Amino acid sequence: MRTKKLIRKFSQVKGILMVLILVVSCSSSGGNDETPIDEDTQAPTKPSGLVVENVTQTTADLRWDASSDNVGVKNYSIYQNGTYLASSGQTFYALNDLEPGSEYTYQVLATDAAGNESELSQTLQVNTIGTIAAELQFASGNIDAYLQNLILDAPGSGENSYRKPNGAQLEQWEDVINALLSNDISEAVSKAVDFNYQITEFTDTGLSPNQVFYVLAEYEANTSNYWGIYVFSKTPEKENLVLMAPHVKYDTNTGHQAAYSFRNNVAKALLLSSAHRCNSDDASECSGTTSACGSSGAYRISDLAHNTISAFQKTTELIATSSPNTIFVQLHGFGKGEGDPDVIMSNGTTDIPDMDYAALIRDALLVEDNTLTFKIAHINTDWTRLRGFTNTQGRFINSSPDPCGTSATETSGRFIHIEQARPKLRQDASGWAKMSNALGNVF
């Protein structure tokens, strides 16, 4: 009996083994859609979309679109100046040990598991940032005129000039801003050059007494990042006022208006964008949509009011944290339609603050021009347009738990978002003076 049981068990095991052998045989035969590696002769498609990001003096990041293949791409070969440099299993590669102020060309080639090679991608030219002296620059004259020239040089829509800073760069940017806020100018100068920024000590000889400002701006001879223009008063007269214009090339004249108001009030700081909000084609990860760049879609990474991974956002956060009494007034513009007011103001929420600076600015503007009409989001709660609820600086200042993705529900009262129709306030210096005077009277 025992022998018969053993024979039956052996037969069962033998049957299972035969099934497994059959399965393996079928899967390794030509009975499926996969092409055996030793028979694959089809090359991957040519890599496309090769771009460069985060260019510094000695480093840069290459990215490209994935190639397709009937079996699958195994890796990519990177060629520098026509010579093989390295391989990558991903669609990106970090370049290191580059020479400052040098020109390089790059191409990418895809290879599959059978060794079939694609054509080389289109050639991409990369220019590293040249070495600039870590020295404080000096200039004098009218700070408003000086800044307006910088604003005019900002690149326009769709040029893809703006480069999003990486984590290491933002950490060093934090060091620069903290040094400026503590008046350690030499420290700020030494660190700013690593991402092509210089600091200019500008003496405005038209103000009485003369005023000194520190301008943090990219080296004009080789601009490459376009992270913005940042100005700090050495001895501010309006210690609690920070002016911002994140759309200097889209919201017409808001950059000029902000610079004008900054000078006339000798405010604490001025934050300006230095590229069009639609300059980059890459989408911001932050919530909200806009039709500013064409059809409705996500904000762009070059839209500094809607992107937390930026020098503009980092600077706002550092000032707001280190100077808790500061009020941030952000100037915007809109095309006035039928039934629209001249001015739309918001604190970034529908919550009513203890100190209502929006209402105070409204009242001061009416003194300058009593024909102006207004909507204020926390007062006119039925108004739902252009309220700045997706503005990432406003969200941070209002203590949103996630400034990139979540609108604030309560206000700190420290953020004022001002949308202006063009004719009465943005058109020319007479309109800028109305805003400047109103801010001076409030702050």
* Residue extents of the structural domains in the chain: 44-127, 137-442
Counting every residue, how long is the chain?
443
pLDDT at 21 over 90: no
In this predicted structure, the answer to whether residue 401 has a pLDDT above a threshold of 80 is yes
Reported as a pLDDT band with limits 50, 70 and 90, residue 37 is: low
Q: Confidence band (pLDDT; 50, 70, 90) for 32?
A: very low
pTM of the model: 0.77
Is pLDDT of 431 > 90? yes
Asked if 44-127 and 137-442 have one fold, the answer is: no
Instruction: Please tell me the predicted confidence (pLDDT) of residue 203.
Output: 98
pLDDT score, position 9: 47
Which pLDDT band, with edges at 50, 70 and 90, does 440 fall under?
Answer: very high
CB 48 within 8 A of CB 121: yes
The pLDDT > 90 percentage for the chain reads 82
pLDDT at residue 28 is higher than 80: no
**What kind and span of H or E run contains 289?**
strand 289-290
Per-residue pLDDT tens over the stretch 138-176: 999 999 999 999 999 999 999 999 999 999 999 999 999
Query: In the predicted model, is pLDDT for residue 222 greater than 80?
Result: no
Q: What tokens appear for 439 in the block?
A: 């801010």
Three-state secondary-structure class, residue 141 = strand
Strands 229-233 and 267-272: antiparallel
- Residue 131's pLDDT is 75
CATH classification for the domain delimited by 44-127, as one of 2.60.40.10, 1.20.1250.20, 2.40.10.120, 3.40.1390.10: 2.60.40.10
Does the 137-442 domain belong in CATH 3.40.630? yes
Render pLDDT for 85-126 as a digit per residue (tens, 0 to 9).
999 999 999 999 998 889 999 999 999 988 899 999 999 999
pLDDT tens per residue, range 366-377: 999 999 999 999
Burial-class residue 104 by CB neighbours within 10 Å (0-12, 13-18, 19+): middle
pLDDT at 132 over 90: no
Answer for the pair 202, 150: CB distance below 8 angstroms, yes or no. no
> What is the DSSP track for 37-77?
GGG--PPPPPPEEEEEES--SS-EEEEEEPP--SS-EEEEE
**What are the residues whose beta carbons fall under 8 Å from the beta carbon of 88, sequence distance 6 or more?**
75, 76, 78
Report how far residue 421's alpha carbon sits from residue 294's, in angstroms, rounded to the nearest whole number. Answer: 20
Residue 350 predicted with pLDDT over 80: yes
- pLDDT tens by residue, 235-278: 999 999 999 999 999 999 999 999 999 999 999 999 999 999 99
Task: Identify the pLDDT of residue 17.
Answer: 44
Query: Average pLDDT of 28-47?
Result: 69
Q: Are 274 and 216 in contact (CB under 8 A)?
A: no
11 or 336, greater pLDDT: 336
Task: Work out the percent of the chain whose per-residue pLDDT is above 70.
Answer: 91
Give 283-338 pLDDT, tens digit per residue: 999 999 999 999 999 999 999 999 999 999 999 999 999 999 999 999 999 999 99
pLDDT value of residue 38: 66
Give the separation between CA 440 and CA 443, rounded to whole angstroms: 5
Over residues 185-211, the pLDDT tens digits come to 999 999 999 889 999 999 999 999 999
Q: Is the pLDDT of residue 129 over 90?
A: no
pLDDT for 40: 87
